[in-house]
Structure 1
Amino acid sequence: MTEKYKIYLSEDTRSRLINDAELFEFTKKDETVNLNAFLKVLIVNYFDQYRRDSEALLNSIMADLTGMTSISDKDASLLADKIVSTYIKSDKVSNSKNIAVTLTVSGSSYDIIRIIENNMLRGTSLSQYLKDMFNSYLSIPRDRREAIIFKDTYEDIEKALKTHHIMTFTTTSSERDHSFTVEPYFIAPSKEEQCNYLLCRDIRSQTPRTFRISRIRSAFVTSDIFEIDENLQKELQEKAVRSPHSVSATVSAVVKLNKYGKRMFKVITKNRPIVSKIEGDLYYFDWPELQLEDYFKRLGRDAVVIKPASLKEKLRKYYYYALREYSK
């Protein structure tokens, strides 16, 4: 069964939902953002949690009201609902213009919509209920929102972590027919990106790897068990705290920043490496080489790598080939 519904969202809510859909790579064949597919997954994966949280909030307010006054349970319920609607679900009273969004549901998402229509509306419209649900979702930190959208993947990974089982999966950033077989060690959030990463060992290459969980597809927990490598576990634990999105080898690096580079280093905070010490224009780092490379590509001529030679050569080649293409 497929059904279409028209819901009304504020510009801000719609924009933020699109941002999540884009970050989590919900796209159509033409590579544009597939907001409808994203919202269907959100409704299915978040409905139970939203319902429980909403009921817990109302019950808590009711308990406080009946505990402090002689108000009846019925009146306390009505007042609690009004308090939540007026003061907590603030999108109702915002001045933001509402935008109509057509939501096409089928399968599990259709079943959830029918449950909402038959049991949850309590005098409000389906559009308002979904708007409140989406705003509640957006109030959650992004790393936890990622766990909601990719609920099945998280559950598989957590099961493998607890039982030390080998996993297989594909990713959106690799060839379609290429799968990975790994020994999972940690799930770690990246503070700058607000995403979560699986830190593991690739069995084929016997090297540590990291995968953004929102890019993992077709996760499968095998029946094979692996033994924890304590040295690798310690190494990955350190990476999990410092830079879970990069498990490349740590190097001692020196980068010379001019005054513009220093200004940019303060401003560009995403995935910024931690400075070990500063001596005038020289900034010292003990950080994964790949992350240093990715970060300082953004600073251009205002940041010049002094050492190590390997990092300096990578940046030199990057700018050399860019210049060659622009000079054609």
Structure 2
Amino acid sequence: MTEKYKIYLSEDTKSRLINDAELFEFTKNDESVNLNAFLKTLIVNYFDQYRHDSDSLLANIMQDLSELSSISKKDAAFLADKIVSTYIKADRHQSGKNSALTLTVSGSSYEILKIIENNMLAETSLSQYLKDMFNAYLSIPRSEREAIIFKDSYEDISRALKEHKVLSFTTTTSGDNKAYYVEPYIIAPSKEEQCNYLLCFDRRAKKPRTFRISRLRSVFVTSDTFAVNPDIQEELREKALRSPHSVGLTVQAVVRLNPYGVRKFKAITKNRPLVSKIEGDLYYFDWPELQLEEYFKRFGRDAIVIGPESLKEKIRKFYYYGLREYSR
């Protein structure tokens, strides 16, 4: 069964939902953002949590109010509902411009909307209920929102971590549906991106790897178990604290920053490496080489790598081949 619903969202809410859909790679065949598919997944994976959290909040407020001897239970229930609608869901009273959106649902998302229609709309519309749900979702940190959208993957990964089972999956970045077989060790959030990463040991490549969980597909817990390697576990724990999105070779690097480079270093915070020490215009790092390469590619002449030679050569080649293409 498929049905279409028209809902109304503020421009800010719609924009933020589109940003999540884009970050979590919900796309159509033409690579444009598939907001409808994202919202269907959000509704299916978040409905139970939203309903539970809303009921708990209302019950807690009612209990606090009921403890006041001057307020009856009926008045406490009225005031609790008023507090939630006025202060917690204040967006519903704003007069800003709303944007109409046609939501096409089927399967599980259709069933949940029918449950909402039949049981949850005593004093509100379906559009407003969904708007409140989406705003509640957006109030959660992005790393937790990712766990909601990819609920099934998180549950499988968590079980594999607990039972020390080998995981199999493909990724959206492999390009050829290559299957990975890994020994999972840690799930860690990246402070800059607010995404979560699976730090693991790749059985085929025989080396530590990291994968952004929102890019995993066809996650499967195999029947194979593995023995935890204390050395690998300690290495990945250290990486998880510093740079979970990069578990490559750590190098001791020295980079010379001119005044413009210093300004850029302060301004460009995404995936910024931690400084070990500063001596004049020289900045020292003890950090994964790949992350240093990707970070300082954005600086141009304002950051010159002094060492190691391998990092210096990679960035030199990056600019050399770029210049060659632009000179044609």
Bucket of the pairwise TM-score, normalised by the shorter protein:
over 0.9
Please report how far the alpha carbon of residue 66 of structure 1 lies from its aligned counterpart in structure 2 after TM superposition: 1.0
1:49 match: 49
1:221 match: 221
Please report how far the alpha carbon of residue 96 of structure 1 lies from its aligned counterpart in structure 2 after TM superposition: 2.3
1:18 match: 18
114-123 or 210-219: which moved more?
A: 114-123
1:109 match: 109
The CA distance in 1 between the partners of 2:69 and 2:116, in whole Å, is 32
2:7 match: 7
The CA distance in 1 between the partners of 2:122 and 2:80, in whole Å, is 13
The superposition leaves residues 44-90 of structure 1 with CA deviations (integer Å, 9 ceiling, x where unpaired) of 00000000000000001111111113333233222211110011101
2:154 match: 154
CA contact (8 A) 1:210 1:245 kept: yes
CA contact (8 A) 2:171 2:177 kept: no
CA contact (8 A) 1:189 1:195 kept: yes
Moved over 2 A (4+): 69-75, 93-96
The superposition leaves residues 145-187 of structure 1 with CA deviations (integer Å, 9 ceiling, x where unpaired) of 0000000000000000000000100000002331100000000
1:76 match: 76
1:239 match: 239
Please report how far the alpha carbon of residue 94 of structure 1 lies from its aligned counterpart in structure 2 after TM superposition: 2.4
186-195 or 75-84: which moved more?
A: 75-84
What is the one-letter code of the residue matched to 1:259?
Answer: P
1:279 pairs with 2:279: yes
65-74 or 157-166: which moved more?
A: 65-74
Q: Secondary structure at the match of 1:54?
A: helix
Q: Secondary structure at the match of 1:68?
A: coil
Length, aligned pairs only: 328
User: Identity of counterpart residues, as a percentage?
Assistant: 74
What is the one-letter code of the residue matched to 2:52?
Answer: R
What is the one-letter code of the residue matched to 1:156?
Answer: D
The CA distance in 1 between the partners of 2:55 and 2:78, in whole Å, is 13
The CA distance in 1 between the partners of 2:256 and 2:95, in whole Å, is 49
1:140 pairs with 2:135: no
2:184 match: 184
Q: Secondary structure at the match of 1:70?
A: coil
The CA distance in 1 between the partners of 2:283 and 2:32, in whole Å, is 40
CA RMSD of aligned residues (A): 0.8
176-185 or 148-157: which moved more?
A: 176-185
What is the one-letter code of the residue matched to 1:88?
Answer: I
TM-score (norm 1): 0.99
TM-score (norm 2): 0.99
CA contact (8 A) 2:186 2:198 kept: yes
2:200 match: 200
